Every structure is written in C-alpha cells, then in structure tokens.
Structure 1
C-alpha cells in the first residue's frame, strides 16, 4: 500500500461562486490564513492571468504554506485549439516550476450538454476522445519540457467523464508524457470504481484529488435528471472525505508502495454547516487513517 504524501487542500469553498472563481489576492489570502488555522500546510495554486506570479507565490511563504498542484483545462475536444492550449500550458507549467512544483492536473473543459446531464456520458464519442487524447498528449509533452508532469483529471460535466472515456484517453496517449491525475469523487459520481481504474493505470498516477460522494444523493440526482449545479449545490452530491462511501484505503492500496504524489482534498460545496468545519473534518479523518504517514507530510510549512 502507498502512503499518503504531501497532503494539501483546494480552497474551493473560499474561491468558488455562482459566476465562477473569485481569485483576488484578498480571497486567496483569507483562504491561506483559514486553512493554516485548520491545520493544513499546503494549498492548491489557482491564479488569474493578470496576476503577478512571484507576488502570488509570495503570499504562500508569508503565511507559512506550501503551494500544491493546480489545474489546467481547455477545449481539448477542438483540434483547432490545440496549438493555443500548448502555449497556455507552457505558461502554467512555468508558474508551477517557479512555485517548486513538478506535478499538476489537466482536464477537458465542461460542456453545456454534460452540465445539463452530468455523470452519464451524454453524447459519448470515441472520435472526441481521440482528439482530446492527442491534444492532451501534446500539452503534456510541452509541460514536461518545463519540468512539470500533468495527469489526466476526469471531471463530471466534461467530455472525459465516464469510464470508457477515461480509459480511451489514457490508452490513446500511452507512451506520452500524459499521466493520470484521478479524482476519486468525480470517478464515483460517474459510476466508476476508482480502485479498479486507478489500479489499472497505477504506473501513470501523478497525483490524486481526494473527494467523496454521498451515494444516496448521487442516485437521487441521476434519477431526477439534475443538472450539475442542482446536483452539487442543492442535492449535495459532494460530501467530506470519510462521510461518504469512497474506498480511500483501496485507492492507496492500488498504487505502488513507492508512490509519492501529491494528495489534494476537495469538497467543492461543504456538506457540513460551514467551510471550516468541512475542512477540519477532512483533515482529521485522513490523518487518522493507516495509509497516512505523518513522516511523509510537509512539516510546518514555508518559512
């Protein structure tokens, strides 16, 4: 069994709003202070294109927090966008390298069709998967030249959602620099057994998003035909790690013992009463598990 290394958190409850992300310095700084107080030592990097990257990175050092791998997404299903996406990921990778990171996640953009009917592979197309695989492989190769390895992040609402799409993209990109950056919650919501698919591609797993699902809410959302926002905001498909049914021990057991990738906690919409209670519960649950090794964590943060 692998042990949980480099435990971090994505501050989605702080930055995620109805109209997208609020990534102002004030919001990011509040998240850093709150999550440091909750006991975390690392937080996902997420910044806007007009932000000065060194100044953004200095926020982490100021608050004694490590930067953790971020997320790059694009319209990889559109071959005409591939060249621009390659240039975009180079800049993304360069910023990661400046933060001292060598891992990150890559995903396909969410689409209106999939947002309207999430987790069921609406309009699934092998041809689209082939185009996505080609574009992501090109992007991953460009990022690897900068020293950052990107892992495919399946995401409900995107065109890499259900198991057949995940496997198609990974199989078609075999031999390239594209790794695997699975999200346990997105896999479970889409009806995928994360232990099985992670085990089958264990040698390509770069980093993990640790996310849990309320299976009763998932079933109700699919039965009712909820769109993505209804399923997450009102139905509360997402739940804190340890309060759902995801087999995290099985996921870690499916990885090689020497695996040392980042693990990133995600609870997009807290199920507990507030974001601090949610974040603390996740940390307390995970650090009490036998697959967590305190010796492998990040210490006291950046000084």
Structure 2
C-alpha cells in the first residue's frame, strides 16, 4: 500500500540488546530483511564505522529499501568540543548526500546524571543550555553549507531534555540553520505536550520521529526511580505508535498544511511481540491513519 507521506523506520530493535549497541552488517541485514518483508520502503541511515556510504546503499538496494534521515549527536554541552563536532557533522552530512538524503536529526549527547534520573531535567543549568544551543547552531550552519539540513531532536537523558530546554535552544537559535526535529515520545516522557511544541515552532519542523509512550509504565518507572535503560528496557516506557499516550491526531494537525518532511517510526524496545511484530504494528498504524493514507487517485 502506498502511503501519502514520506515514512521510514529506525531499526533499533535489532541493534539494541542485552549485549549493548550492535551496529554491524549482520544486524543491519537481519533488520532490512524483516522490515522489507513487512512492507517498509525506507530505512534510517546509520553506518557502522567500517562501512562506506556506497556499501550501505548497496545493502539497502539488495533489500529493496531506500535511505532516510539519520541522527547525529555530539557533546555540545562542552564548548571546547564544538569545533570537533562541526568537523564530525560535515562527515555525517557528506554520507547523507552520497546516499541522496538532504536532512537529518541532531541532538546533544546523553549525560550520566540524566540517564540515572531520566525525564526530570536533573541538574538543569540555563547557562549550559545556551552553550548547547551555540554548538548545535554552529554544527547546523556547517552542515547546511554542505547541503544538509539538521533538526533539533530533544532526547530524554540528554542536555536538551525538558520543555524549558527545548524552547531555550530553539528561541536562542532563531534565524540560524538549526531546524526542529521533534521526537513525540521523548517530548511526552519528559513532560511536554508534543502537539504544543510542534504548533509553536511549526515553521521550523523539518522531520518527525513518531514514538509513543506508555504513560503507566513511565509513571511506574519514575516512582521506582529507574534509570533510563531500566525504564526503557525492562519497564518498556516506549510503545508502538497509537498504543500509548501521544495524541497523534493533534500532533499531525499542528504541522503546516504543506509539510513535506519525513516521519520516522521509532520503537527502541518492542512493547508487543518480536521486533518484526512491533514494526508491523507500527506500519499498520500509518496505513490506518487518515493523515498517511494515500488518496483515491494514488496507486496502491
């Protein structure tokens, strides 16, 4: 079934596991085989260190898949590391361009104290947030000069976690090359209403991560003072789109009428069944939602 919007999936359920972060050709091949069979057509760019963009593109093509926007992060909370981040994002942008993709998500690195106490804004520091904003803007400007746009991706556990920080970064970088790449799940878990932020910064929304939150699981994890990995891995804070607390109707209605960015499904740890079953449920959400359904004149 043809969808009316540009949609993709991040294969995190195949990459994240008890053994840590497994990003290699074998894991990617398993994910691509399963996701192509389910009906996905586009796949998030994330290259293993040993794989060149052309090899990645070939692997995608072998599975009848095409590339979609990836994700870049750096320690933007440390001003003395901004220069290295700028050089790193240029390489990231070049890989995207080689694969024919001209946009991506950008985030601040995860912080130990926030991973230990997620979604609470632990140790919030307004001055640090402005340093992060400065670094994000510099990196986005450098990438834009190469031909790739980057949108701010708020992430629980990072230096841009709570709504106050999201707004501070976006407000202080107004007029820069930094766009907004909201992740509905990360915003909601940290206490924000995604639809409100999308509406308030609608003219800067570049791409969207479609992620849902199991509110009961999130509340329980908070009460038990669980760290990020326990909350997401054992307590399964994340869930498939349409099964949790996100008001996707409101989020999608808040986007500009002419919005043509990407929507990337993310369910880091499946809430239901296997990675393939979880991904199939997410695709079915897209197929059933009026915003994503093809019009009668489109081919099926």
Whole-angstrom CA distance in 2 between matches of 1:217 and 1:231? 8
CA contact (8 A) 1:180 1:201 kept: yes
* Cα contact 2:57–2:66 (8 A) shared by 1: no
**Separation (CA, whole Å) in 2 of partners of 1:10 and 1:75:** 22
Which structure is higher in RCO with an 8 Å CA cutoff and minimum separation 6? 1
Q: 1:4 to 1:231 in 2, by over 3 A?
A: farther
Corresponding residue of 2:61: 61
Question: Is the Cα contact below 8 Å between 1:108 and 1:158 reproduced in 2?
Answer: yes
Aligned residues: 297
Corresponding position of 2:29: 29
Provide the secondary structure at the position in 1 that maps to 2:29: helix
Q: Which runs of 4+ in 1 moved over 2 A?
A: 17-21, 293-296
Matches within 5 A, 1:282-301: 282-294=282-294
Task: Give yes or no for contact 1:117–1:228 (8 Å, CA) kept in 2.
Answer: yes
Q: CA deviation at 1:295?
A: 5.8
Following the alignment from structure 1 to structure 2, what is the Cα–Cα distance between the partners of residues 276 and 180?
Answer: 29
- Give TM-score, length-normalised by structure 1: 0.95
Equivalent residues in 2 for 1:167-186 (5 A)? 167-186=167-186
C-alpha distance in structure 2 between counterparts of 1:241 and 1:126, whole Å = 32
TM-score by length of structure 2 reads: 0.96
**What is the CA distance between 1:269 and its match in structure 2?**
0.5
- 1:135 deviates by 0.4
Root-mean-square deviation over aligned CA pairs: 1.7
Unaligned runs of 5+ in 2: none
Q: Which residue of 1 aligns with 2:85?
A: 85
Q: 1:275 Cα deviation (Å)?
A: 0.8
The separation in 1 between residues aligned to 2:145 and 2:293, in whole angstroms, is: 32
Task: Write the mapping of 1:227-238 to structure 2, written as runs, cut at 5 A.
Answer: 227-238=227-238
Q: Which residue of structure 1 lines up, in the alignment, with residue 72 of structure 2?
A: 72
Over residues 81-125 of structure 1, what are the superposed CA-to-partner deviations in whole Å (9 max), with x where a residue is unaligned? Answer: 000000000000000011111110000111110000000000001
Task: Point out where structure 1 has 5 or more consecutive residues left out of the alignment.
Answer: none
**Post-superposition CA distance 1:51-96 (Å, at most 9, x none):** 2221111111121101011000010000010000000000000000
